[in-house]
Structure 1
Amino acid sequence: MNSIPLDDRFSHHTTAVNDVNLHYVIGGQGEPVLLWHGFLETWYCWRKIMPALVEQYTVIAPDMRGYGDSDKPTSGYDARSLCKDFHQLVQQLGFEKIHLVAHDMGAPPALLYASDYPNEVMSLTYLEEPVLLNAHLEQIFKFSPQSTQKGGLWWWTFFLAPDLPETLIAGQERAFLTYFYNTYCNDPSAIEPEAIEEYLRTFATPDGIRGALGVYRSIFASIEQTEPLVQHPIRVPVLALGGETVTGEKVKTMMAAVATNVRGGSVDRCGHFIPDERPDYLIEQLLTFFQDVAQRSESALT
């Protein structure tokens, strides 16, 4: 179990949902906010914003299947399966409506959550991830000097090869993780050595590597699950943010294809890892967004 010291307002738990055991951290009171991590990270990527959110909200930070201290099965990594995992967790905890905050590869299943259970989602915050539509991905993977800067998104296709990624990553897990932090952070020091050690604790195992790659190996199923949102966009309020040096305004632009109520934009002086790099800015944006959603909801009832 996690060895990182934890604010005494939070506690660790494990529960069975959708045929897997999920680890999660929870604390606070008030409206629930579910924090959904992405590739190569765990619940711990939210460590810098959880203390501020817990002052006003119930904070739930799970590990997705395949990550951290959750089970690492061989299947169930498509966006809808991951969505069902966390939906069942929220139901077990007894919450009727939640705010979703999702980063990287946690964002596509969070988008489906907002689509599948619109009456149970107060808001969706979508951080630093393309919307998984063929039209968007064809542009991203277009072979050009612009799209292949820093090597392009080479890992999206590399991970589709069976077995080879596990073979090449094994024994080089630290170099693999730090490559992404050094390449896609505006300031790599934002991810401190203690955080890297925590991620390596569960990633640097055969199951940890295989589990982490699962979201990419299920990518075509996730795209197929997302495409219907073009014809049936979500009405849940969305905050879409991209780091200035990575996706920037594109996240908001892409989200507008599948959602009717979108705000957001580019985060200055920030790369891919927004919760690590600009936590104070993210906290400010989230609190303002949540409060605005609450006020609009109250106005609609009067």
Structure 2
Amino acid sequence: MSQAASDVELARSLEGGFVSSHADVNGIRLHYVIGGRGEPLVLLGGWPQTWWEFRKIMPPLAERYRVIAVDLRGMGGSDKPASGYDKKTMAGDIHALMRHLGHDAVNIAGHDIGGMVAYAFAANHPASTRRIALLDIAHPDDRFYDYSLLPRPGRQQIDGDIHAGPGRFLWWFAFNQVPGLPERLLAGRSRHLIDWMCDYLIDDPGAISDRDRDVYAHAYSTVDAIRAGNAWYRAFGQDIADEKTYGPVTVPILAMGGGEGGYQLLRQVLANKGTDVEVVEVPGSGHYIPEEQPETVVKHLTRFFA
């Protein structure tokens, strides 16, 4: 793995006057990249990535919004404490950061784990939420307990290739539940995981370049980084319990689903999760929508948040 660029260098490489910064909020230090002018638009990424996953959509969004891409608790340049990885607490981190930056209410777009945090933000801080967009994800609920530990029937029954089977086989949901072992296996070798995830959940692997993969691999190269990322998954049980207390979210929700059934699943799951829900399909995309189809994402976000 080549030496990855620093967050400062990466931020400077984007058009829109972006800068890398930190803030001490909610008992931890959060890293964020900020640029552009207008109403605040918060971007929250997921596993195993960082704020850098939004690099393609940040410059065009900065033409209309004050874009704030945040590394979640446990991610990238942010602190990796021993606890606090339930999405309600992580939403509290973002709420405290927005208050620190002087914003009373914000729009939020979240992908993967970041989408779960965005939903928890709207559920717990409705007065501070204008609208939220969920990119190929919904908040954990009881259906998470039904995910199979075996791939669904298909060609993989014959040749053992999970890539050949229908749908996504979410083996890492279970792997990340195991304390201690992932750190031992992946520390210093995270690029292998990054490549596998990027190639498995994407329509065009070239949408995430070798340089981008180095950025992500560097961010998850240490024992603490791997432990913290896994902690987002180990908190799912608490997230499911918290979600049962929320009730339908009342702020407008836009959900974007990629291939392998993402769009259909979101339509089904979000039907009773909000009072104003729109679900759109993003053709030609797998799970990594902001990197695979950035123009489509920018089009829908600017329309929705306008």
Q: What is the TM-score of this pair, normalised by structure 1?
A: 0.90
Deviation at 1:168, TM superposition (A): 1.5
Contact 1:97/1:120, CA 8 A, preserved across alignment: yes
Q: Which of residues 53, 68, 89 in structure 2 aligns to 1:60?
A: 68
Deviation at 1:257, TM superposition (A): 2.2
Cross-structure match for 1:273 = 288
Contact 2:263/2:279, CA 8 A, preserved across alignment: no
State the SS of the aligned residue for 2:272.
Answer: coil
Cross-structure match for 2:159 = none
RMSD: 1.8
Kindly provide the CA deviation profile for residues 124-157 of structure 1, in whole angstroms up to 9, marking residues without a partner as x.
Answer: 10111243110x2244438562699547211111
Kindly provide the CA deviation profile for residues 87-140 of structure 1, in whole angstroms up to 9, marking residues without a partner as x.
Answer: 000000111111110000111121111011112211110111243110x22444
Q: What is the percentage of aligned positions where both structures have the same residue?
A: 34
Task: Determine whether 1:250 maps to 2:258.
Answer: no
Aligned in 2, Cα 1:131/1:65: closer, same or farther, shift over 3 Å? closer
Contact 1:67/1:202, CA 8 A, preserved across alignment: yes
Contact 2:56/2:290, CA 8 A, preserved across alignment: yes
* Separation of aligned partners in 2, 1:246 and 1:183: 14
Cross-structure match for 1:114 = 122
Contact 1:241/1:249, CA 8 A, preserved across alignment: no
Q: Which of residues 211, 227, 235 in structure 2 aligns to 1:210?
A: 227
* Separation of aligned partners in 1, 2:116 and 2:148: 18
Q: Which of residues 125, 131, 148 in structure 2 aligns to 1:141?
A: 148
Task: Determine whether 1:85 maps to 2:102.
Answer: no
Task: Determine whether 1:170 maps to 2:187.
Answer: yes
Contact 1:131/1:255, CA 8 A, preserved across alignment: no
Deviation at 1:195, TM superposition (A): 1.0
* Separation of aligned partners in 1, 2:67 and 2:23: 17
State the SS of the aligned residue for 2:244.
Answer: helix
Deviation at 1:215, TM superposition (A): 0.1
State the SS of the aligned residue for 1:22.
Answer: strand
* Separation of aligned partners in 1, 2:226 and 2:149: 28
Contact 1:37/1:104, CA 8 A, preserved across alignment: yes
Paired residue type of 1:270 = S
Contact 1:245/1:270, CA 8 A, preserved across alignment: no
Question: What is the 5 A alignment of 1:16-55?
Answer: 16-55=24-63
Paired residue type of 2:36 = G
Question: Number of residues paired by the alignment?
Answer: 288
Q: Which of residues 233, 236, 245 in structure 2 aligns to 1:228?
A: 245
Deviation at 1:246, TM superposition (A): 4.8
* Separation of aligned partners in 1, 2:199 and 2:222: 22
State the SS of the aligned residue for 2:262.
Answer: coil
Aligned in 2, Cα 1:168/1:117: closer, same or farther, shift over 3 Å? same
Deviation at 1:271, TM superposition (A): 0.2
Q: What is the TM-score of this pair, normalised by structure 2?
A: 0.89
* Separation of aligned partners in 2, 1:238 and 1:8: 27
Kindly provide the CA deviation profile for residues 130-187 of structure 1, in whole angstroms up to 9, marking residues without a partner as x.
Answer: 43110x2244438562699547211111111121111112232111111000000011
Kindly provide the CA deviation profile for residues 218-273 of structure 1, in whole angstroms up to 9, marking residues without a partner as x.
Answer: 111111111223xx211110001111235222113212221111102321111000
Cross-structure match for 1:198 = 215
* Separation of aligned partners in 1, 2:151 and 2:49: 29
